[in-house]
Amino acid sequence: MYSMGPQSGKLLSDEETIERFKKGNEWGLLTSIDIRGCDPEKISDGEYIRKFSVDLCDHIDMKRYGEPIVVRFGADPRVQGYSLAQLIETSLISGHFAEDTNRAFIDVFSCKEYPPQAVAEYCKKYFGGSEVEYSISFRT
C-alpha cells in the first residue's frame, strides 16, 4: 500500500492519481476526507446525508448497490452523530458526522478510478465545510 497526504507526503493531482491507478494496475483507491467547520444543520440531518450519498455516487459515476444506510448513534457526545454506509459495485463509501465538533469523516474506496481532490472539494462544499484535508492510498 502506498499512502499520500498532508502528514505523509506530496499528494498527486487528480490526473496523476488516475494515471498511476490505470498504469500501475492498482487494485483499489482509498480517499480519506476530513472536513472541519461543517454546517451543523447539514451534518445532523439524516435525509440530507442520504441525499449526499446518492449525489456523490452520481457525481463520480459509481453504481450504488442498494440504498444508503444512515444511522444516528453514540452515547458519548464527542462522537455522537450520523454514520453512513453506501455499498457501490466497486466497493464502499462510508462516513461519520461528528455533531459536537461540526466535522465530517468520509472514506471513498473503489476499484474504479475517480478524482480524489475533486471528491474532497465536492464533499466540503456539500456539507458547507470551512477546511478539508484528504489523503489517498493505493491498494495493491
- Which CATH number goes with the domain that contains 24? 3.60.90.10
Radius of gyration of the chain (CA): 15
Domain count, the chain: 1
Per-residue pLDDT, 69:
98
pTM comes to 0.92
Helix ranges (H only) for the chain are 14-23, 40-43, 46-59, 116-126
Identify whether 2 is part of a domain: no
* pLDDT cut 90: percent of the chain above it: 85
For the chain, residues with pLDDT lower than 70 are 1-9
Cell 472536513 sits on residue: 35
Q: Which domain holds residue 57?
A: 12-139
Among 13, 21, 12, which Cα is nearest to 109's? 21
What's the pLDDT score for residue 6?
57
